[in-house]
Every structure is written in structure tokens, then in C-alpha cells.
Amino acid sequence: MKFKVGDKVKVTSGKDKGKLSSIVKVIPKKNTVVVEGANMYVKHVKPMGGRSGDKLSVERALSTAKIALVNDKGEVDRIGYKVAKDGSKTRVFKKTGAAVPEPKTEAKK
């Protein structure tokens, strides 16, 4: 999968079309990603054990076909790969040919 957690993406279709955000979670088996603040839905929680019921806003997964990576200029761009002589692969933007910066991710506690 060409997307990684922390990548800056733009939603290209759906109710959140045009929204710029970062990827929170990648689900390769389903070819989907969870984008921060996009595709929000209300989840109703039943009252349990003396706790009252509640409505929670939850992010749902989006298909990778509905998002596009954003380059340094803020434009939507496709991703390609270049293989170095030592055999390592790096992600590059198709339009500019520049290397895709490694996303900054926070360590989970």
C-alpha cells in the first residue's frame, strides 16, 4: 500500500471532499485508511452499569480511491517508487520527482 500513517492527504470525493488532513490508521487488507476528522459518524452508546447513554463522534474508514497524497506545494499528486542501486525503495511524487518525506508519527503508549 502506498499510504502510510501520518501522510498528509486530501479527500477527493464524498461528503468531506476537499478536506486536508493526515492518516491515522491504515488497513491494507481492506484497502482503506482512517483520515483524521473525515468521514465522521455518530455512534449511539447504550446506558450500562449506572452510566448514562451517549452519542459519540467516530471516524470511519475511507477507501484509498477517495484520497490523494498532497505534495510540498499543497497540490494533489500521485506516488511512484524509485529503486536505488543498493536495492532500497523510496516513495516519490510523480509530478515533481521529489522524494516523499517520511511521515512523523508519535509512538503509541
3-58 per-position pLDDT tens digit: 999 999 999 999 999 999 999 999 999 999 999 999 999 999 999 888 889 999 99
Whole-number pLDDT of residue 92? 92
Q: Residue 35: which of 72, 67, 70 has the closest Cα?
A: 67
Cα 83 to Cα 2, 59, 101, distances in angstroms: 15, 35, 16
pLDDT band at 106 (very low <50, low <70, confident <90, very high): low
**b/e map of 31-40 (b: 16 or more CB within 10 Å)?**
ebbbbeebbe
Note the pLDDT tens digit of each residue in 57-97.
999 999 999 999 999 888 999 999 999 899 899 999 999 88
The SS3 call for residue 28 is helix
Cα 78 → chain centroid:
14
Whole-number pLDDT of residue 39? 92
Whole-number pLDDT of residue 50? 86
Whole-number pLDDT of residue 108? 57
* Count of CB atoms situated within 10 Å of the CB of 55: 8
Whole-number pLDDT of residue 66? 95
The CATH-assigned architecture of domain 8-93 is Roll (2.30)
